[in-house]
Amino acid sequence: MPLPPLRRLIAGSATAIRRDTGQISAASRRALRGPGRERDIVVQSLKAAAAAYLAYALARLLLTDDMTLMAPWVAVVLVQATVYQSVAQGARQAFAIVLGTAAATGTALLLGSQIVALVLVLPLMLLIGNLPRFGSQGMYVATSAIFALIGGPLTVEVSVQRVVAALIGAAIGMAVNALVFPPRYLRDVREAIRTASDETAGLLRSMADGVRDDDLDDRSTDWLDRSSRLPRLVSGVRSALDWDRESLRLNIRRRTSGTALPPDYSSQDVVNVLWHVTDHTREIARTLAETGRYASDVRALTPQLAQTYAQFLQDVADAVAAYGPLVTTAGRDALHDLENAVERAAAGHHRLRRRLGEQPPDVEGAEVLGPLLADGRRIIAQLDYRETVTDRDS
């Protein structure tokens, strides 16, 4: 018997609360256990709280207006995800607050009524706040006017103090974010690159196992599903690299926190390589899926050839898996591992071509084996670190 709407709402709310409580508990344990995204969030939250305390204390010390709450409010908002965002948003916010407060004060003093001024000024300030120059800070044009007009008797001195309080909050927020553990997202870049390369390598290994076991029919749907997620992972790498690049602007940790990439390797190199590698991996998955779905009684991949191709895919997967550690550590050992994996994969490709030369396939077999070999070779070419850097510099 279905539950009544109210009971369903209560049951759903209880489930959501238990789920959220569990997530908070798990995140807290991860934050205590070691560095990670959860600890970064804790640090930023504590910084925002500290900025609010400092801004409020300084505003209370210097100003007499009761609306010194503008200082901690602005300070919290300006402990942004990056130092550059703090400065850029702080400038826009300060301009918005000055404009809204000045318009409200001038109109109220001219008309002699704060209520009438609110009725006239608020719609205009809301419209002005939508101008592109204000960005996400446009709301402060209208809210500043509201605070000015409903926060008690209004005089020029009171308005000036409220603007000063906001400027104090902005200065404290930007200073705390820039000087106290300024945020850097190097860890996010490394995690995104490792995730993309590991998932691609895992798919290649799964396809190698399927070819080896002659189990294309049953596994091809899973391969296609997994391959469809690869572009999103590469987009995540691009986003993480862009975010990390922005986090370096105006950041005093720029020279001390290192980089996620080798010195002769750019973020565009990484994104291009991963785009090509994942695209060719998806093509292999599609070709194998079509081979299993529409194959005749005679398989294009004969048992002997299937074993050789499966080993080739395994070697390609090892090379893809080695690419992530190279890019995220730039270490000699990682470079050595990638070079060895690429050499094994290239040797496997050569063996396949030689075997096909000795025993040429029929037309149907060539239609299948040609794309499988070509896409594998293209992955190897993309993973040759020295070739990638040479091609970029030439």
Domain positions in the chain are 43-179, 186-393
Check: CB of residue 310 under 8 Å from CB of residue 345.
no
Helix (H) / strand (E) element for 377: namely helix 363-383
Mean pLDDT of 368-389: 82
Average pLDDT over residues 382-388: 72
Q: CA-CA distance, 205 to 345, in Å (whole number)?
A: 13
Res 329: pLDDT: 78
**163/97 Cα distance (integer angstroms):** 7
User: Distance (Å, rounded) from C-alpha 377 to C-alpha 101?
Assistant: 65
Contact (Cβ atoms closer than 8 angstroms) between residue 241 and residue 267: yes
Q: Residue 237 in contact with residue 191, Cβ under 8 Å?
A: no
Q: Average the pLDDT over 15-25 and give the result.
A: 69
Question: Does pTM top 0.85 for this prediction?
Answer: no
Question: What pLDDT does residue 249 have?
Answer: 81
Tell me if 298 sits within 8 A of 168, measured CB to CB: no
What are 84-132's pLDDT values in tens digits?
888 888 899 999 999 999 999 999 999 999 999 999 999 999 999 999 8
Task: Report, as an integer, the average pLDDT of 67-76.
Answer: 86
Report the distance separating Cα 192 and Cα 205, nearest Å: 20
Q: How many CB atoms lie within 10 A of CB 336?
A: 12
- Range with the lowest mean pLDDT among 8-12, 156-160, 270-274, 374-378? 8-12
pLDDT tens digits, one per residue of 336-350: 898 999 999 999 999
What are 76's two structure tokens? 């919290």
What tokens appear for 305 in the block? 């050839």
Q: Write down the pLDDT at residue 1.
A: 45
**What is residue 362's predicted lDDT score, i.e. its pLDDT?**
63
Exposure string over 352-372, b if 16+ CB within 10 A, otherwise e:
beeebeeeebeeebeebbebb
pLDDT > 50? residue 205? yes
Residue 28 — very low, low, confident or very high, per pLDDT cuts 50/70/90?
low
Confidence of residue 297 (pLDDT cuts 50, 70, 90): very low
The residues near 88 (Cβ < 8 Å, ≥ 6 apart) are: none
For 93-110, b where at least 16 C-beta lie within 10 A, e where not — what string?
bbebbbbbbbbbbebbee
Phi, psi of 98 (to 5 degrees): -60, -45
Least confident of 33-37, 152-156, 309-313, 319-323: 33-37
The amino acid at residue 364 is E
pLDDT at 206 over 50: yes
Closest CA to 223 of 191, 199, 247: 199
Q: How many other C-beta atoms are found inside a 10 Å radius of the C-beta of residue 262? A: 19
pLDDT at 256 over 90: no
By CB neighbour count within 10 A (0-12 exposed, 13-18 middle, 19+ buried), where does 74 fall? Answer: buried
Among 77-81, 202-206, 253-257, the range of highest mean pLDDT: 202-206
Q: What percent of the chain has pLDDT over 70?
A: 79
User: Distance between CA 98 and CA 166 in Å, rounded?
Assistant: 9
391 pLDDT exceeds 70?
A: no
- What would the mean pLDDT of 161-172 be, rounded to a whole number? 92
Selected residue with higher pLDDT from 103 and 150: 103
- At residue 290, the 3 state secondary structure works out as helix
The reported pLDDT for the residue numbered 51 is 94
Mean pLDDT is lowest, of 262-271, 334-343, 353-362, 382-391, for 382-391
Q: What is the mean pLDDT of residues 350-377?
A: 79
Terminal-residue alpha carbon distance, the chain: 72
Neighbouring residues of 68: CB distance < 8 A, sequence distance ≥ 6: 56, 59, 60, 161, 165
CATH of domain 186-393: 1.20.58.220
Q: What is the pLDDT of residue 167?
A: 92
